[in-house]
Amino acid sequence: MTYQNKINTTKETLTKLEREYNRQNLNVEIKVAQGTRVFTSAAEQKIVEYSLSSLNRRLFMKHLILAFYDNNPLSYNQLVKLLGISGTGLKTMWRECYDAEWMLITNETEAKTETSQTAVASEELVKAYDDYCRWLRNTWKDIGLRSVSTAIFELDQMLANEEANKLPSYLEKNR
């Protein structure tokens, strides 16, 4: 087998591994979208059902969780911009999540109206997301997605190194 044939075979293998990774990841994404994982509590199940009911609700909750992790509360107006929705659309989610105790108003005593409030996710919402991430990691481990991903990175790096160390064409035929 010539040097170029080995490179071509490696590229074909890389392409097959990438497709396998994509297929396995798609199966995980389908499971997520269908809400097929087992929940640790009825409260967590309600959070998941709410977040899967619309893209805006899901993004709203994710932004609140990120605000919690970053210890950087988000204002009502920031969320309107981040989500690209109207204030009226946000008001509904804001009240639903506040009433469900999935978010904390961080400046409740100073803020006179919802639009002047800032918020982060509640501990309950963060715990539900932490449980989801744990499930996701375990799912990836169980189906071998991490191994496939590592193999892709290794082959990619190997091919990049081969390209960087490629011999001039006049020397190539002697390999």
Let me know if domain 40-123 sits in CATH 3.40.50.1980.
no
pTM: 0.79
60, 83 in Cβ contact below 8 A?
Answer: yes
pLDDT digits (tens, 9 = 90+) for 147-157: 999 999 999 99
Strand order in the sheet with 74-75: 74-75, 118-121, 103-105
Listed by start position, the domains of the chain span 1-34+144-175, 40-123
Q: What angle do CA 65, 70, 72 make, to 5 degrees?
A: 90
Nearest to 31 by CA among 150, 132, 152: 132
Element (DSSP H or E) covering residue 107: none
> Tens digit of pLDDT for each residue in 125-173?
999 999 999 999 988 888 888 899 999 999 999 888 877 676 656 666 6
